Structure 1
């Protein structure tokens, strides 16, 4: 048995040895075959590189440049209600240098650098140094945001058969630049964008997602024939905003705020005409904001330009105004954090972001609460002796007329007309704090209006509650002190007070459209509630008309010639009491018999030794309405006095002279001096700072060789240096007997502000 097993083991071992030997031979053969294949492949690669390497190399480089190229979206435009463009995006180009491709041949280096130096303001030595230090760099930005006109000469060289073959490694990266055609116009409302196309402040921030689109992309790949193929996913542009603003009304408002500042700047102290000056004009019947502005403005195309900081007061780390005024010296000494704090204050919209005590502009609201709640009938009378002791043992609260013994016996209407604090305090006592607070909330005080703008202030902590309001607080609140509001709260609430009681949510955008003009969304007015009845609203309108037209009214100087308007003046002393610093204001509506617009002007601490005078606000209102009402086709209903007629004639003459100066000195096209579209009705559109016309700089700026045309102020004719009389528009010689055919203004420019009749309450 053992012998048989041993024989079997020997046979198995012999078979195993034979299999191993055979496998070894096969492996040797396979090894040589693999080596031969690799050798063949290597030889083939060498031949390809020798014969076609340059071609494939360029294709690979080309694919590296364009395989993942981003196609930028175009940010949506912002327009006014009539189609005037307020914010647009224009395509620009970044100049990119591919050093690796340029360095392939010396002739490419010389030809490319020579072309760059010829067409762009670049330093040849810097390009050579960068190319030498970074020979493999394929993305180096030489210039940013060039316009098409700026790159066109270079493109011509590239496309030229003689020069183009020596220009390699240069391409243009597309992007969009945000442009604001009117510079400062509606800067608070529009806001601006950062370099990465994100909105800051105003509509740009609030509607950032709507205005933004989606980037596209261009992909590249090699097809079976080794040719570069491309497929493109197009960018999706952002939607456009059609705002409720009227650029012409906005321009008028801004021009008048500028005029106020120019008049009172450095009057009693160093600095601007006031710490802040704001104006809102609103359509009372739907909540559309037609104009919103606060001074100082800033240039949307240069938001970090510090020029408009000059004259402002320094803001400390607690966001408090300091006595120090920003001038060239203080500006130069600011560190980065301090400067940024001042710019943030400049960019904020005073009309929605800042709070203040409303003063006597609150009195119509108090009266409305009494009438609507049934606590008052409107037939009450009140005795004013100049002050009222609200709580025994505490100091009495004075009326503005306390020095002359008070207003005597006044009716409800008379209390509003005279702005009698004592009568309003007695009304507050009758109304009671619970009812008073209920109506204050109905008018949205303490609540956000939810206007579609970035940065609206919250005021919930700045108004009274049941727990915080005692007898003294109720008394002072009845005439607008002790709590804070924003301008937009007051404008929206007052609109409901005089339009029949209908409270509309204030808004800035009426329509969203696509890039092809199709309507994406109509934003309809939102009627939120009814604050008072039609009958109460009618009484409040009558009381407010007495403020402007009544014998003892405090708002006489707000009335534009030829019109009847209503409104209420306001003066509130700032904290701490006794500092003799005031916020003065006027809130009104026009026309009186059928209110179409509400206007609210606030002047925060006028630059004057005597700040407690609402005429600083009423004169701005008068000046604005003198132009806005005719522009809106709201016609005069009242006869003009001789003085008023003379005033308007002087304004028309001033308008014609400015018109002739602008067309002869700068521009004779259909656009105004700032480059904005002229209004469809012939009214110049507003330009920078609201100006629709420019100054005569002594010649045509676009054509310095054109002879200077002066204007004869007596005849209106243009006069050449040799004395020849010419048409100021065409420059052609004319017969002096030929009348000038100039457009009649449909609204006059501002003139004198009227008399000082009608004093105002210091409250």
Structure 2
């Protein structure tokens, strides 16, 4: 057994010796081959470097990024008709940290951090933490949207050749951009709109003229020349064009101030919430279609459009943008409180912002009420359906299609001529006029006046009213009757005032516009936007009669619009009061459409108050008083001479108002010259209030009614209805039980 182990051991030794010798030979051969390969590669690299090294160097270097930077454009300005800036873009800078560049050497870190803390009040600890956690980062924003004055000190530290240059401050640079600024904050917010974070326009002119106001970004490139040197080339940005509007900033300010005063007076009055669901005003040049002023309340700050405080008091809308209904039909909505805002989801909050940002003057539709009556009469006159000499008998109602459609004066107006029908706003007279006109002619002229059509005003968000008016095929006698006094069809404010201007300017329908000129960033005029006549709606003779009739609304003894007359001036126009749906809910839209001067209309004004925050809403005086206040200041500013003599009381009232306005302007640091001009512009502010207390000479049944001391209205002892002491209009709609049940029928009580 021992011999066996010896033999095996000797065999292993021989095998190990054979393996070692064989491997050595193979390793030698392998080493030689590897050595030859390296020698070959070395020779090849030498040849490449000698013959093609420059070419390959450029190819590698060209794949690196050399400061290819987008250069922002400056968005064009928005100016008013007097070249006052309403919107502009200010250059700002973001402070950018390049951690990788800064950390190239420890000697750069502390001087750079110290300078950042000193110049920008940054937290040194946060900067150090970021450098430690992101040593390879090359883009981190330390501060945003700083002005040049805010970065100038640090700019000197990193600018070679500057007196304060410090070579140890590294890894920080400035990224330029622009932010939109609105120097007047809320002024003309509905007209202007605003921009999003990516510099695109939202709402108003900013959206409609976005492509005009936007420029083209530039770019700075880094590249290698033939000698492998880094070169730069810059394609400069092209700034956007500016737009000059037809808006007069002074008129706009007057309008907005009086809309604010209305809200201050009636907010939280009969209910919690704003002074009305909406209040809108448009001023327009009768003979050009230019918009001189346009505003709707509530306003919002263009520099901070997402300020939730502007929402408080507005009607709530749901996540689909629909207005939330109140607990009963007599509620005009549910109104936003801070507690509601705190509980809004993001979607509901955004929908309520949209409701705030919309321009009521162009985006919301409603039944116009009696401001449509001049259109009814103009249609009949122009078509030859009436001559204007007709006299109708108003018994307080007219039976049409089996329904008793009542006049706003349910006691009856007696014998009513066409002219008096406009003056006292008699529904029955208008129904007779419409019957004489007929369905086909009536609906044709409605389209001629623009009802149911977009005006194509150059603002984003105009409502489509197609389908909200009747065609001849689907209009019944009842529909014709209610349409005659402005109910049963829907319009928006810009439709109404544009059509109305054609009634009083000789029949010329101008396309409304709000921009009159486009200019380049260098100031060169690119385009003039001239007045554009689209069609002629009526003849000059018909227009003259409509002016005559509407003048009586303000100047006539029985005129429903006497409280719209500013002291020292005579104007014309038409009042309107329309029920909202559902009928009988005591919710009204009241309005006044007017013009000045009365003998030669030059400007038109339209004020709509949507569900005023009062107990009895059916009173057009909530609109006429706003018109009076606005025109009291606007007409002197526009250099229209006074035509009416001022009473001593009116002069005293004007002096008091003038003093109040001057005091307000001085307290707001307005220049003395502006204050002096304002004195002239406001010389007639309050005396027209005397219109409300003038004694009435005419004999009417309601004059014997007793007055409710809490409201100032008269009370019918038989029905308990509230009655307007000036016109005899019954307020609240309680006198319409029969007609309210009519299917698809409009209200029969379009009073005033």
TM over 0.5: yes
Structure 1 residue 210, shift from structure 2 partner = 0.7
Distance of 1:657 and 1:519 partners within structure 2: 40
1:469 equivalent among 471, 475, 489: 475
* Unmatched tracts of structure 1, length 5 or more: 1-27, 45-55, 671-681, 685-741
Aligned 1:530-541 pairs, distance under 5 A? 530-541=536-547
2:341 equivalent among 321, 328, 331: 331
Distance of 1:166 and 1:191 partners within structure 2: 46
> For each residue in 1:169-202, what CA deviation from the matched residue of structure 2 results, as whole angstroms up to 9, or x when unmatched?
1111111111111100100010000010110000
Aligned 1:644-655 pairs, distance under 5 A? 644-655=650-661
**Cα–Cα, structure 1 residues 169 and 427, in superposed 2: closer, same or farther, change >3 Å?**
same
Residue 756 of structure 1 is matched in structure 2 by 692
> For each residue in 1:321-340, what CA deviation from the matched residue of structure 2 results, as whole angstroms up to 9, or x when unmatched?
43321111111111111100
Distance of 1:152 and 1:497 partners within structure 2: 60
Structure 1 residue 615, shift from structure 2 partner = 0.2
Is residue 628 of structure 1 aligned with residue 634 of structure 2?
yes
2:663 equivalent among 657, 666, 669: 657
**Cα–Cα, structure 1 residues 341 and 659, in superposed 2: closer, same or farther, change >3 Å?**
closer
Is residue 320 of structure 1 aligned with residue 323 of structure 2?
yes
Aligned 1:696-735 pairs, distance under 5 A? none
Residue 151 of structure 2 is matched in structure 1 by 151
> For each residue in 1:380-438, what CA deviation from the matched residue of structure 2 results, as whole angstroms up to 9, or x when unmatched?
000000011112xx330111111x3x000011000000000001001111100100000
Distance of 2:63 and 2:89 partners within structure 1: 29
Distance of 1:277 and 1:86 partners within structure 2: 22
Q: Secondary structure at the match of 1:142?
A: strand
Q: Secondary structure at the match of 1:529?
A: strand
Structure 1 residue 683, shift from structure 2 partner = 3.4
Distance of 2:324 and 2:279 partners within structure 1: 15
Structure 1 residue 442, shift from structure 2 partner = 0.2
2:288 equivalent among 286, 289, 293: 286
2:405 equivalent among 393, 397, 402: 397
Residue 746 of structure 1 is matched in structure 2 by 680
Residue 265 of structure 1 is matched in structure 2 by 267
Aligned 1:401-412 pairs, distance under 5 A? 401-402=409-410, 404=411, 406-412=412-418
* Unmatched tracts of structure 2, length 5 or more: 1-34, 52-57, 326-332, 694-725, 730-748
Does structure 2 conserve the Cα–Cα contact (< 8 Å) formed by 1:555 and 1:760? Answer: no
Q: How many residues align?
A: 649
**Cα–Cα, structure 1 residues 353 and 124, in superposed 2: closer, same or farther, change >3 Å?**
same
Distance of 1:259 and 1:374 partners within structure 2: 45
CA-based RMSD: 2.5
1:417 equivalent among 423, 429, 433: 423
Does structure 1 conserve the Cα–Cα contact (< 8 Å) formed by 2:239 and 2:521? Answer: yes
Moved more, 535-544 or 327-336: 327-336
Distance of 2:109 and 2:304 partners within structure 1: 37
Residue 683 of structure 1 is matched in structure 2 by 674
**Cα–Cα, structure 1 residues 60 and 563, in superposed 2: closer, same or farther, change >3 Å?**
farther
Q: Secondary structure at the match of 1:291?
A: strand
Distance of 1:651 and 1:443 partners within structure 2: 39
1:38 equivalent among 42, 45, 52: 45
Structure 1 residue 219, shift from structure 2 partner = 1.0
Does structure 2 conserve the Cα–Cα contact (< 8 Å) formed by 1:613 and 1:760? Answer: no
Residue 216 of structure 2 is matched in structure 1 by 214
**Cα–Cα, structure 1 residues 469 and 38, in superposed 2: closer, same or farther, change >3 Å?**
same
Distance of 1:301 and 1:31 partners within structure 2: 70
> For each residue in 1:438-467, what CA deviation from the matched residue of structure 2 results, as whole angstroms up to 9, or x when unmatched?
000000000000000001000111111123
2:298 equivalent among 296, 299, 320: 296
Distance of 1:475 and 1:245 partners within structure 2: 38
Is residue 583 of structure 1 aligned with residue 574 of structure 2?
no
**Cα–Cα, structure 1 residues 63 and 643, in superposed 2: closer, same or farther, change >3 Å?**
farther
Residue 430 of structure 1 is matched in structure 2 by 436
Residue 18 of structure 1 is matched in structure 2 by none
Is residue 459 of structure 1 aligned with residue 465 of structure 2?
yes
Distance of 1:225 and 1:118 partners within structure 2: 42
Does structure 1 conserve the Cα–Cα contact (< 8 Å) formed by 2:315 and 2:323? Answer: no
Q: Secondary structure at the match of 2:674?
A: coil
Moved more, 94-103 or 459-468: 459-468
Q: Secondary structure at the match of 1:282?
A: strand
Distance of 2:268 and 2:36 partners within structure 1: 102
2:554 equivalent among 531, 548, 572: 548
Residue 243 of structure 1 is matched in structure 2 by 245
Residue 377 of structure 1 is matched in structure 2 by 387
> For each residue in 1:331-365, what CA deviation from the matched residue of structure 2 results, as whole angstroms up to 9, or x when unmatched?
11111111001000000000000000000000000
Distance of 1:170 and 1:269 partners within structure 2: 57
Moved more, 585-594 or 654-663: 654-663
Residue 173 of structure 1 is matched in structure 2 by 175
> For each residue in 1:730-758, what CA deviation from the matched residue of structure 2 results, as whole angstroms up to 9, or x when unmatched?
xxxxxxxxxxxx67722117446604264
Q: Secondary structure at the match of 2:400?
A: coil
Does structure 2 conserve the Cα–Cα contact (< 8 Å) formed by 1:569 and 1:760? Answer: no
Does structure 1 conserve the Cα–Cα contact (< 8 Å) formed by 2:156 and 2:163? Answer: no
Structure 1 residue 305, shift from structure 2 partner = 0.8
Does structure 1 conserve the Cα–Cα contact (< 8 Å) formed by 2:650 and 2:688? Answer: no
Residue 515 of structure 2 is matched in structure 1 by 509
Residue 386 of structure 1 is matched in structure 2 by 396
Q: Secondary structure at the match of 1:396?
A: strand
Structure 1 residue 295, shift from structure 2 partner = 0.1
> For each residue in 1:24-70, what CA deviation from the matched residue of structure 2 results, as whole angstroms up to 9, or x when unmatched?
xxxx99984652353798999xxxxxxxxxxx9xx98998462x111
